[in-house]
Amino acid sequence: MSARPAATTAANGPATVDAPLRRMTVPQIAARKGAEPIVALTAYTAPMARIVDAHADVILVGDSLGMVVHGMDSTLGVTLEMMILHGRAVMRGSRRALVVVDMPFGSYEESPQQAFGNAARVIAETGCAAVKLEGGARMADTIRFLTERGIPVMAHIGLTPQSTNIMGGFKTQGRDEASWPAHLADARAVADAGAFSLVIEGVVAPLARQLTEAVPIPTIGIGASAECDGQILVLDDMLGMNARTPKFVKRYAEIGRDIDAAIARYAAEVRSRDFPAEDQLYR
């Protein structure tokens, strides 16, 4: 989806048409390995996507929406229909960033064929450019199956929230150096299978650096090293919308406190009959 070209009139000349705004493409993101860092953020609604779109290269419609938007305890209850609904909203609100939609738990693990059917539905019904799925070497065959059939895949290794029950919670990965070869094998497997980029979540910084050096595709860190090829955060975390945020999140604003103060002021003015005032009335 591109913006409608705007007509402009050159001095002493005929009207010209400005070039339409074009979205970032999968090849453009893949080419950012070792180059300018990739800026990525989550978004779940059209208004927030519109704001993020002016600054980010990639917008991820993450299954974190289950917790951030719907108040769930984890991402495990998120459905394909929920992801499609929010994916459509983000596509409507954005024009420039590459939009990637998470594949929710249970929608791709059974078989490559199941993954293809659901991923094709996500792309067809939202218009997004790519899907993201969790898992390393165990998902390599599925990633290969999708990419060979025209579905770009962003991979995700390290701390994978959909595997929280197996991991025993949200635990930092790689604290034991003996586990590093397995993580490196995961990174190489998804890159070899055709993933165009790789999210590395919740791993110790030295391991994240090794993972970035080990693969030819750009890595996008979240709770990883600044030496990854890009970074992503959950938008609501970095804006201070959630009371508790992970250690790796830098809060760039405290929007939650501002919203609370605004609502408190509104409630007080309604109760005191100071709102609506003359400026808000029709005469």
Is 63 annotated in some ligand binding site?
Answer: yes
pLDDT for the residue numbered 9: 45
Q: If you average pLDDT over residues 26-37, what whole number do you get?
A: 98
What amino acid positions are annotated as catalytic residues?
201
Is 132 annotated in some ligand binding site?
Answer: yes
Q: How far is CA 57 from CA 49, 148, 202, in A?
A: 12, 25, 22
- Check: CB of residue 90 under 8 Å from CB of residue 99: yes
Is 247 annotated in some ligand binding site?
Answer: no
pLDDT for the residue numbered 215: 98
Q: How far is CA 161 from CA 57, 165, 171, 282, in A?
A: 23, 9, 10, 52
Reply yes or no on whether the pLDDT at 98 is more than 70.
Answer: yes
Reply yes or no on whether the pLDDT at 1 is more than 70.
Answer: no
Is 134 annotated in some ligand binding site?
Answer: yes
At position 240, the amino acid (one-letter code) is G
Q: How far apart are CA 109 and CA 142, in angstroms?
A: 8
Q: How many residues does the chain have?
A: 283
Three-point CA angle 99, 100, 102, nearest 5°: 145
> How many angstroms separate the most distant Cα atoms in the chain?
75
Q: How far is CA 70 from CA 30, 60, 82, 198, 214, in A?
A: 32, 17, 10, 26, 37
148-181, pLDDT tens digit by residue? Answer: 999 999 999 999 988 877 766 668 998 999 999 9
pLDDT for the residue numbered 245: 86
Mean pLDDT of the chain: 92
CATH architecture of 23-252: Alpha-Beta Barrel (3.20)
Reply yes or no on whether the pLDDT at 4 is more than 50.
Answer: no
Q: If you average pLDDT over residues 62-90, what whole number do you get?
A: 97
108-135, pLDDT tens digit by residue? Answer: 999 999 999 999 999 999 999 999 999 9
Q: Is pLDDT larger for residue 172 or for residue 99?
A: 99
Q: If you average pLDDT over residues 14-29, what whole number do you get?
A: 77
215-251, pLDDT tens digit by residue? Answer: 999 999 999 999 999 999 999 999 999 888 889 999 9
Report domain extents, the chain: 23-252, 254-283
Q: How far apart are CA 31 and CA 22, in angstroms?
A: 17
Regarding pTM above 0.85, the answer is: yes
